[in-house]
Chains A and B, each alone.
Chain A
């Protein structure tokens, strides 16, 4: 079955209550997201999901030379960064979009839906 990456983006610098205006809405969003995750598991769509520490905690590694080079910060310079994601399995994009809409409502953010490569699409890359 096709797999999709559902990404949620947020500001690079997080406020006291993550990306939420106050503690109450943060806790409510966590609760709703937890319930959404449970639904994904129960209905057989869930593969993986988690939230990330702020992008400022990232390190970029370039290991292509003799010695690896480490750079503090995220790969892309941006005001908004990946804050968390789901990996789901769904029969087609219509189902993935419907689930993403539920996830978006639960976590109070926009969700980007992106398909993973399949064996078939990977093969056509090799053949081209």
Chain B
């Protein structure tokens, strides 16, 4: 317990400085691998040293200096192993002046880790390791992958970045919207995996992952300096995450069952997160009204969630406003999943029959939410048998334990002429 203040300082510094240290070293040594290893060694040294000597006045500076020395040591060792190439590899002085910093190195790091030439799985793993500073075992646990497999995934991604010469820089303006979208998609996938965790053996909600996704999105927003560097989507994504995260305390029942938006205890929502989310949505509305770029999918999703969280009671939800926002969203993102969610709003405005007709036109046979939505609409239309079959399909496909429990209860509540229903 005597170490507690030091442990706290190390944890705090790790959160605040990890990405900065890795990013600075990657620029200096041109290798993610060298940067990652040296940063990890520097933090391990900090744990030892700071306990003994106390926390230095400038922990970030101390870590960067220590990590730089570790990296030079490693490169020297490697050079010594092969004398023939010693000269070629010894281009690293002990203390050369750093090249001038343009922008924030962490932004380069984010774009490199989320490069579209890497697989989505690799992008997520690499971002959590290099930018988020999570350990390989932590990332492996988060995605229910063995540690060895996760380690290989990260190693392979780093090897591709080096061999294929994926650049360490912020993309040129012409590429920025597409490349930024890749970054935001990675962050959103991390958040979603936390919010609706898959797998029978995992917690249904992974607060560590949602918190990490929010932290990384804040970081990207901070270093991208919107609106100059972006189109408002980073702000939109942050607002969206905050407004979803705010509802987390009300999302699971005491028995671990998913509670739908309409049934949630709104008093349990996090007011501070909602206030911040609403403020960001208003900021984007003002920017769009002032002639800024049209809102993208994250801003529209954030606005939809702002409408939901503005209603003190589910019955007060402004569904026509929600529907109007979905109408705009289907233009930006014409995917069947968006069309499905729009149909839920249609059910509230125009009734379940109209909504069901829309849903039945979609080809989402393997998506659990498609069947769950159909089941709810069929139930409202009094078509119990069809609803039951739709619940069955949804339960088969749902990967989240809390969601499965919710669907099983809903199915059990159907009036059953054939006797009690199992589950």
Contacts and interface: CB of A to CB of B under 8 A. Distances in A.
A94 B78 contact: no
Nearest to A114: B164
Interface string A103-122: 00000000001010100010
Contact of B165 (A2, A123, A126, A127): A2
B78, B85, B164, B171 — most chain A CB neighbours (10 Å): B164
Interface in B106-143: 115, 117
B162 to A, nearest CB: 7
Contact of B82 (A91, A96, A127): A127
Nearest to B79: A127
B82 A115 contact: no
Contacts of B146: none
A34 B117 CA distance: 27
B78 A93 contact: no
A121 B164 CA distance: 10
A97 interface: yes
Contacts of A113: 164
A117 B163 CA distance: 7
Contact of A93 (B82, B167, B175): B167
B166 interface: yes
A123 B85 CA distance: 9
Interface in B80-101: 81-82, 85, 88
A115 B85 contact: no
B162 A121 contact: yes
Contact of A94 (B81, B82, B88, B175): B175
Nearest to B117: A93
B165 A93 contact: yes
A115 B167 contact: no
Q: Which of A94, A115, A117 has the most CB of B within 10 A?
A: A94
Q: Which of A2, A93, A126 has the most CB of B within 10 A?
A: A93
Contacts of B166: 92-94
A50 to B, nearest CB: 23
Which range holds the interface residue count of chain B? 10 to 19
A18 B82 CA distance: 51
Interface string A83-109: 000000001111011000000000000
B165 A92 contact: yes
A77 B65 CA distance: 54
Given A127-B81, A127-B82, A121 B163 contact: yes
A92 B167 contact: yes
Interface in B47-93: 78, 81-82, 85, 88
A96 B117 CA distance: 11
B78 A115 contact: no
Interface string B149-185: 0000000000000111111000100010000000000
Give the most central of B165, B171, B175: most A CB within 10 Å. Answer: B165
A93 B164 contact: yes
Contact of A115 (B81, B88, B115, B163): B163
B164 A127 contact: no
Contacts of B115: 93
23 contacts: A2-B165, A91-B165, A91-B167, A92-B165, A92-B166, A92-B167, A93-B115, A93-B117, A93-B164, A93-B167, A94-B171, A94-B175, A113-B164, A115-B165, A117-B163, A121-B162, A121-B163, A123-B82, A123-B88, A126-B82, A127-B78, A127-B82, A127-B85
7 A-B pairs closest in CB distance: A92-B167, A115-B164, A92-B165, A2-B165, A93-B164, A93-B166, A93-B165
Given A96-B165, A121-B163, A127-B82, 7 more contacts: A92-B167, A93-B167, A94-B171, A113-B164, A115-B164, A126-B82, A127-B78
